[in-house]
Amino acid sequence: MQKTLIILKPDTITRWISWKIISRLEDKWIKLVWSKMVRLTEDQLKAHYSHLADKPFFPGIVEFMTSAPVILQVWEGKDVVEVIRLIAGVTNSRQAQPGTIRWDFSMSIGNNVIHASENLEAANEEIARFFSEEEIYSYARADENMLYSPDEVN
């Protein structure tokens, strides 16, 4: 099964909506394997958003992402990277599809409530950036045998 990272951004914490987003992922039957609340540092953000670090808007990202704690989570499931990205919606919340997290909870490009790993390679790098291997739990859900047909299980 794939694993992916999400970051519930400061606006989810300050608006008290993190539980609504977590609930959406649980409703999709994706398995949460680790969660922690942290305050990100500028160095962590430079590493995480290295592709944006030289952009003129990057200081705004740092200001926003350090304005309050974030919730870092690792989720596991079949095609979980793509599934969570579909549930999250496109980066520009005003262009997200109705019913996605960003459509329902945001009107911004930057303050868009959730980060979801772009692809499996990015997911693996991001998980390693924020979590040690000992922090990721492996466990069986009580209903796990009902989640996927036998030919879909690795």
Per DSSP, the residues of the chain read -EEEEEEE-HHHHHTT-HHHHHHHHHHTTPEEEEEEEEPPPHHHHHHHTTTTTTSTTHHHHHHHHTSS-EEEEEEEETTHHHHHHHHH--SSGGGSPTTSHHHHH---SSS-SEEE-SSHHHHHHHHHHH--GGGS-----TTGGGTS-GGG--
CA 59 to chain centre: 21
115, 116, 126, 131: the active-site residue: 115
Instruction: Tell me how crowded residue 60 is: count the other CB atoms within 10 A of its CB.
Output: 12
**What is the Cα–Cα distance from 53 to 59, expressed in whole angstroms?**
8
48 tagged catalytic: no
Provide the annotated active-site residues: 115
